[in-house]
């Protein structure tokens, strides 16, 4: 029997423990308290093993929140965790990626956990591993009431002892304050109102929302934690994690009538028993119990009085936290949008719940509602994806922190509102940029960026913004005019400008004659969305220590994280001898290498070479005179066959007759026939093929247009066309086609390209 990897052993342990717990939940052979406690303890051990595997010797600590924090974890819940580091480190982020992959990746062995890192400083926009300073700064200055409640269940799991001590000490002061907070009760009432406003529609006649329904699990927890936060500053004994223990203490300290405390404990675990049962059925993260389905006797018994018990719970909770809201939705807006009613209600309630950040709430709430009404109407008129548009709108409003100034500007700038609606309805990729960096809106409106700074730190942020802004501006135009050459030219020019600015600034500290030789799509001035930069560093004479320092700092500055991500990802595998090759090379040595030693695939790549900032004129061409031998053509043919995807795949880049096939065929043709092209642009390469190249030229342009449009409309980077995937439906819509017609068009393009390439491609010819 083969030894299991660490990851698969972890998955195996999880599955064995979970299966035992799930069986107990399905046949009611253990109490829900014991099932949750045992599963929580087992989860602690699994998380600690993964943490030790990834973060050994790091000054990082792992904390549990939510039900894992209170050791009341249900069977198919996310585990809410928080990582905090002593200080920033790129090694920490590398370890985090490994940690996430181990826990969340699904294989034939299953998975370990669904992990939620969103309860960190700044939420989804915050650093994945905040430092102690960032942790204290955020919660000390911006922490909200719901975060104070969340930290009631903050529990250290493992990691650096000094980090644990500081975090727990700060968190207690943050959650539990000695002096009465007069705004706390109002905040708590608003919090409950928002939760119930978001999710009130999920409980229906035959469906009970055990967690988020009125009088459900969340209500009991919210009520209990609220009392802990209100009284825990003056009575540290209340600063405990478990819901049952907290309710017992509140009863003992006469802060809650005995009858109510006992009822809430019993009601809570009755709900948790049913929650474990529905989750154990399919290891599914659900809280909905469908009453019309067949259930075992213990579930049917629990259901008899459940509605009355949830109503009683609501009465107790609202005595402290106020009335749960009912329907707030405008029915005429629902009808106008022509969407499934229940589907929209929940999403619309979430958007309505994002209250404006303003000192004049009355005035600015009107502006917010006016904007929302206009946005909905515009979204429908533009025939974009309305559901996706509203989801992105919700994230955008969250990103702006619902500032009144944004709503005022968007109401005033109607063209901007229309562009925003267009992007949200058609391009998740561009929309995410604006959701993460809403401050880019000003520059987007004026299609300009301020003059770049001389200070390196400021410059790096400006260059990151310049790249994002270029993609938003040019991507928005491309969605409408489909002008591929203009898009590729502008994105490539932006990369040139960023690289030149960064290199020029770094040369002030490290004087050098070094130049950047662009390759690949950047070399051909054909850079698209989500593209890496392929390049090497070239110097006129033997490289100096300054040259190497300059090269390393250029790479570091270009790839290190900034707000909104790194400036660019890079690929330097095309330097002579690959990854093991020199970081900086003289032009003479590079020319000699290409003329005498380079593999045929390397020579293919260097047909795309271009000096950054220079004209699109080939700086290197003598190696083309080498031609290609029979053996080299056979090697290139083997590479071609290896690049092909599996049968049945419709991959815009890698399928036979696709983009890569055409590009490499044209490059091979130039080398085999010793033709020096007029530029490094792929379309000029194709033109050298003669008359039959006209078909390839037209089809290549169309495939790149489809490829770039797919990057804009898909939520992730895709090159494979999947007819049943929502991205393919969106792609067809934005290209004014139908999925069936687009599928047929791409298949016909591939077939036409293959027919031409069989005649022209030297790799395919008998040797």
Contacts of 505 (CB under 8 A, 6+ apart): 454, 456, 459
Distance CA 375, CA 379 (A): 6
- The average pLDDT across 342-356 equals 67
**Is the pLDDT assigned to residue 325 strictly greater than 50?**
no
CA 158 to chain centre: 27
286 vs 555, higher pLDDT:
555
Q: How does DSSP classify residue 136?
A: H
Per the document, the length of the chain is: 767
**Is the pLDDT assigned to residue 667 strictly greater than 90?**
yes
**Is the pLDDT assigned to residue 36 strictly greater than 50?**
yes
Q: What class has domain 184-321? A: mainly alpha
| Angle between helix 414-426 and helix 428-436 axes, rounded to 10 deg | 120
Distance CA 507, CA 537 (A): 14
Q: Which residue has the tokens 């051909």?
A: 524
Q: In the beta sheet, which residues pair with residue 107?
A: 110
Same fold, 6-175 and 628-767: no
Q: Which CATH architecture has domain 461-626?
A: 2-Layer Sandwich (3.30)
Contacts of 646 (CB under 8 A, 6+ apart): none
The token pair at 422 is 């267009």
Which pLDDT band, with edges at 50, 70 and 90, does 551 fall under? Answer: very high
Give the pLDDT confidence score for residue 351 in this predicted structure.
75
- The average pLDDT across 96-121 equals 88
- The average pLDDT across 739-751 equals 93
Collapsed DSSP state (helix, strand, coil) of residue 260: helix
Give the pLDDT confidence score for residue 187 in this predicted structure.
65
6-175 CATH:
3.30.460.10
Give the pLDDT confidence score for residue 615 in this predicted structure.
62
Q: What percent of the chain has pLDDT over 90?
A: 51
Q: What percent of the chain has pLDDT over 70?
A: 86
Give the pLDDT confidence score for residue 181 in this predicted structure.
56
317 vs 350, higher pLDDT:
317
Distance CA 672, CA 353 (A): 65
Q: In the beta sheet, which residues pair with residue 610?
A: 518
Phi, psi torsion values for 607, nearest 5 degrees:
-65, -15
Contacts of 448 (CB under 8 A, 6+ apart): none
700-714 residue pLDDT tens: 999 999 999 999 988
707-710 LR contacts (CB < 8 Å, sep 24+): 707/528, 707/652, 707/653, 707/659, 708/478, 708/484, 708/487, 708/528, 708/529, 709/478, 709/479, 709/482, 709/734, 709/735, 710/652
Distance CA 111, CA 99 (A): 13
Collapsed DSSP state (helix, strand, coil) of residue 87: coil
Collapsed DSSP state (helix, strand, coil) of residue 677: coil
The token pair at 24 is 């107990």
Contacts of 485 (CB under 8 A, 6+ apart): none
62-94 residue pLDDT tens: 999 999 999 999 988 889 999 999 998 888 888
628-767 topology per CATH: 1.20.120
| Residue 690 burial (10 A CB sphere; 0-12, 13-18, 19+) | exposed
**Is the pLDDT assigned to residue 330 strictly greater than 50?**
no
377-418 residue pLDDT tens: 788 788 777 778 888 888 887 777 666 666 766 766 777 788
C-beta atoms surrounding 625 within 10 Å: 10
**Is the pLDDT assigned to residue 578 strictly greater than 70?**
no
**Is the pLDDT assigned to residue 625 strictly greater than 80?**
yes
117-145 residue pLDDT tens: 888 888 777 888 999 999 999 998 888 88
Q: In the beta sheet, which residues pair with residue 537?
A: 516, 584
Query: What secondary structure, in 3-state letters, does 349-366 show?
Result: HHHHCCCCECCCHHHHHH
- The average pLDDT across 739-743 equals 92
Q: How does DSSP classify residue 533?
A: E
Distance CA 592, CA 538 (A): 13
Which pLDDT band, with edges at 50, 70 and 90, does 198 fall under? Answer: very low
Which pLDDT band, with edges at 50, 70 and 90, does 205 fall under? Answer: low
260-292 residue pLDDT tens: 999 999 999 999 999 999 988 888 878 888 888
Distance CA 391, CA 389 (A): 5
Distance CA 378, CA 411 (A): 13
Distance CA 720, CA 654 (A): 9
Q: How does DSSP classify residue 439?
A: G
Collapsed DSSP state (helix, strand, coil) of residue 164: helix
**Is the pLDDT assigned to residue 448 strictly greater than 90?**
no
Give the pLDDT confidence score for residue 580 in this predicted structure.
66
Closest CA to 224 of 292, 336, 316: 316
Checking DSSP bridges between strand 570-571 and strand 533-539, what pairing results, if any?
parallel
Through-space distance between the first and last CA atoms of the chain, rounded to whole angstroms: 47
Which pLDDT band, with edges at 50, 70 and 90, does 674 fall under? Answer: very high
Give the pLDDT confidence score for residue 322 in this predicted structure.
67
**Is the pLDDT assigned to residue 102 strictly greater than 70?**
yes
Q: Which residue has the tokens 């390393």?
A: 552
Give the pLDDT confidence score for residue 331 in this predicted structure.
41
Distance CA 233, CA 183 (A): 15
Instruction: Delimit the domains of the chain by residue range.
Output: 6-175, 184-321, 331-426, 461-626, 628-767
Which pLDDT band, with edges at 50, 70 and 90, does 358 fall under? Answer: low
Q: In the beta sheet, which residues pair with residue 534?
A: 519, 571
Contacts of 511 (CB under 8 A, 6+ apart): 546
Q: Which residue has the tokens 């562009």?
A: 419
**Is the pLDDT assigned to residue 199 strictly greater than 60?**
no
- The average pLDDT across 98-105 equals 91
Distance CA 283, CA 484 (A): 46
Distance CA 610, CA 516 (A): 9
- The average pLDDT across 41-55 equals 95
Give the pLDDT confidence score for residue 335 in this predicted structure.
45
496-512 residue pLDDT tens: 999 999 999 999 999 99
Contacts of 674 (CB under 8 A, 6+ apart): 624, 625, 627
The token pair at 69 is 């924090």
Closest CA to 749 of 682, 708, 709, 697: 697
- The average pLDDT across 616-640 equals 89
Which pLDDT band, with edges at 50, 70 and 90, does 698 fall under? Answer: very high
- Where b means 16+ CB within 10 Å and e means fewer, 412-429 reads eeeebbbbbbbbbbbbbb
User: Which of these ranges, 294-303, 518-527, 573-582, has the smallest mean pLDDT?
Assistant: 573-582
Give the pLDDT confidence score for residue 348 in this predicted structure.
65
Give the pLDDT confidence score for residue 663 in this predicted structure.
96
Distance CA 98, CA 634 (A): 39
Distance CA 675, CA 696 (A): 18
Which pLDDT band, with edges at 50, 70 and 90, does 186 fall under? Answer: low
Q: Is the Cβ–Cβ distance between 557 and 596 less than 8 Å?
A: no
State the average pLDDT for the chain: 85
Say what the pTM is.
0.56
CA 376 to chain centre: 25
Which segment, 192-201, 645-654, 730-739, 740-749, is predicted with the most confidence on average? 740-749
Give the pLDDT confidence score for residue 586 in this predicted structure.
94
**Is the pLDDT assigned to residue 767 strictly greater than 70?**
no
């Amino acid at each position: 029997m083969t030894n299991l990897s660490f990851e698969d052993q972890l998955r195996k342990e999880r599955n064995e423990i979970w299966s035992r717990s799930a069986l107990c939940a399905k046949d009611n052979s253990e109490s829900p308290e014991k099932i949750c406690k045992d599963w929580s303890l087992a989860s602690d051990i699994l998380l600690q093993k993964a943490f030790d595997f990834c973060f050994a010797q790091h000054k990082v600590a792992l904390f549990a929140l939510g039900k894992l924090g209170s050791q009341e974890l249900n069977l198919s819940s996310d585990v809410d965790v928080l990582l905090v580091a002593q200080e920033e480190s790129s090694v920490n982020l590398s370890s985090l990626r490994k940690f996430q992959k181990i826990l969340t990746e699904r294989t034939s062995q299953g998975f370990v956990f669904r992990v939620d890192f969103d309860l960190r400083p700044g939420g989804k926009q915050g650093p994945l591993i905040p430092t102690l300073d960032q942790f204290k700064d955020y919660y000390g200055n911006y922490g909200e009431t719901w975060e104070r409640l969340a930290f009631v269940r903050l529990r250290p799991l493992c990691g650096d002892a000094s980090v644990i001590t500081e975090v727990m000490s700060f968190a207690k002061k943050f959650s539990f304050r000695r002096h009465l907070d007069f705004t706390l009760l109002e905040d708590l009432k608003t919090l409950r109102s928002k939760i119930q406003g978001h999710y009130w529609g999920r409980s229906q006649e035959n469906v009970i929302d055990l967690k988020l329904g009125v009088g459900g699990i969340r209500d009991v927890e919210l009520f209990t934690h609220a009392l802990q936060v209100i009284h825990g500053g003056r009575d540290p004994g209340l600063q405990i994690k478990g819901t049952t223990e907290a309710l017992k203490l509140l009863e003992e300290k006469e802060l809650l009538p005995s009858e109510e405390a006992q009822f809430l404990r019993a009601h809570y675990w009755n709900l948790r028993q049913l929650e474990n049962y529905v989750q154990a059925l399919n290891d599914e993260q659900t809280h909905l119990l469908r009453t019309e389905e067949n259930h075992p006797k213990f579930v049917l018994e629990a259901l008899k009085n459940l509605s009355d018990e949830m109503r009683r719970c609501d009465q107790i909770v609202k005595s402290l936290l106020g009335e749960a809201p009912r329907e707030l939705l405008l029915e005429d807006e629902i009808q106008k949008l022509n969407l499934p009613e229940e589907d929209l209600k929940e999403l619309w309630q979430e958007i309505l719940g994002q209250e404006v950040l303003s000192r004049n709430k009355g005035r600015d709430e009107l502006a917010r509602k006016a904007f929302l009404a206009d946005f909905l109407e515009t979204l429908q008129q533009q025939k974009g994806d309305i559901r996706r548009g509203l989801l992105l709108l919700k994230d955008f409003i969250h990103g702006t922190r619902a500032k009144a100034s944004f709503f005022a500007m968007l109401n005033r700038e109607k063209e901007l509102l229309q562009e925003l609606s267009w992007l949200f309805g058609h391009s998740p990729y561009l929309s995410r940029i604006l959701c993460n960096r809403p401050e880019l809106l000003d520059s987007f409106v004026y299609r300009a960026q301020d003059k770049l700074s001389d200070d390196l730190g400021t410059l790096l942020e400006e260059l990151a913004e310049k790249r994002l802004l270029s993609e938003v501006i040019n991507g928005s135009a491309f969605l409408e005019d489909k002008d591929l050459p203009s898009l590729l030219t502008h994105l490539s020019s932006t990369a040139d400008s960023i690289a030149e600015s960064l290199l020029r600034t770094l040369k002030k500290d490290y004087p050098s004659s070094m130049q950047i030789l662009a390759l690949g799509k950047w070399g051909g001035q054909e850079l698209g969305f989500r593209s890496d930069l392929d390049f090497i560093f070239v110097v006129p004479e033997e490289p100096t220590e300054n040259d190497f320092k300059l090269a390393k700092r250029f790479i570091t500055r270009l790839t290190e994280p900034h707000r909104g991500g790194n400036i660019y990802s890079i690929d330097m595998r095309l330097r002579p001898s690959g990854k093991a090759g020199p970081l900086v090379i003289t032009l003479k040595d590079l020319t000699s290498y290409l003329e005498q030693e380079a593999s045929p695939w390397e020579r293919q790549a260097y047909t795309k070479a271009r000096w950054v900032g220079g004209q699109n004129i080939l700086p290197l061409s003598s190696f083309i005179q080498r031609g290609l031998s029979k053996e080299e053509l056979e090697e290139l043919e083997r590479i071609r066959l290896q690049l092909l995807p599996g049968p049945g795949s419709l991959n815009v880049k890698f399928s036979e007759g696709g983009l890569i096939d055409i590009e490499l065929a044209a490059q091979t043709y130039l080398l085999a026939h010793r033709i020096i092209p007029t530029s490094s642009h792929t379309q000029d390469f194709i033109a050298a093929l003669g008359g039959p190249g006209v078909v390839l030229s037209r089809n290549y342009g169309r495939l790149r247009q489809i490829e770039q449009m797919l990057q804009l409309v898909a939520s992730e980077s895709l090159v494979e066309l999947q007819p049943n995937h929502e991205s393919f439906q969106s792609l067809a819509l934005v290209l004014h086609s139908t999925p069936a017609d687009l599928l047929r068009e791409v298949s016909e393009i591939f077939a036409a390209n293959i027919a031409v390439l069989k005649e022209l491609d030297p790799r395919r010819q008998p040797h």
